[in-house]
Structure 1
């Protein structure tokens, strides 16, 4: 499975967060696209509209399990996708910003 370390992500990289609504609401990476795993198939079109045509999709969840499932699916669809190793837990531990919908500091649920 293609993976990327949190430390390798740069500002502006496209990030797809597949955690559920309550997890997203507690805190997420600023600028990420949120499509919960439970809604992913039905909302797949949102990803294809938002993702860069020739860029990579970095898929993230809490620890890496759900994002691995989505990454595998996207790769099968011919999309350049990678699983973010360790997910939002590592993101937060690395000191990367976690925000709520209103831009206030958040936390990983």
Structure 2
């Protein structure tokens, strides 16, 4: 959908030590997210770029992979080189049996 040159990783293969950037909206995040994810809604990205590390691997995730792919493209154009899109987003994350939690650590759901 976004071209073969966009770096990506299957949700089932995202390393535990990666900086996982969740670009979904607040209500999606509140319903459930990966335990170690960092929340930064896509609409706030330009104003908050300094929060995203450039010295380590970054995996970007959304609900299905479309918004995160746009963010990966944006980051690549703005100097990030260790960034990948999480294929299939949180839907594939949950389907792969990876944990989804709410802010209080309770089981969450993908919204």
Gaps of 5+ in 2: 1-5
Deviation sequence 1:8-58 (CA, Å, 0-9, x none): 2121221000000000000000111100011111121222xxx261x2110
TM-score, structure 1 normalization: 0.91
Is 1:89 aligned to residue 102 of structure 2?
Answer: no
Q: Corresponding residue for 1:45?
A: 50
Q: How far off its partner does 1:82 sit?
A: 0.6
Rounded to whole Å, the distance in 2 between the matches of 1:52 and 1:31 is: 18
Rounded to whole Å, the distance in 1 between the matches of 2:12 and 2:31 is: 22
Rounded to whole Å, the distance in 1 between the matches of 2:59 and 2:27 is: 21
Is 1:22 aligned to residue 33 of structure 2?
Answer: no
Q: How far off its partner does 1:7 sit?
A: 1.9
Rounded to whole Å, the distance in 2 between the matches of 1:106 and 1:74 is: 28
TM-score, structure 2 normalization: 0.90
Gaps of 5+ in 1: none
* Secondary structure of 1:98's aligned partner: coil
Q: Corresponding residue for 2:68?
A: 67
Which stretches of structure 1, 4 residues or longer, exceed 6 Å deviation after superposition? none
Q: How far off its partner does 1:78 sit?
A: 2.3
Rounded to whole Å, the distance in 1 between the matches of 2:17 and 2:54 is: 11
Deviation sequence 1:57-77 (CA, Å, 0-9, x none): 100000001000100011112
Q: CA RMSD in A?
A: 1.1
Q: Is the 8 A contact 1:14 1:52 kept in 2?
A: no
Number of aligned residue pairs: 105
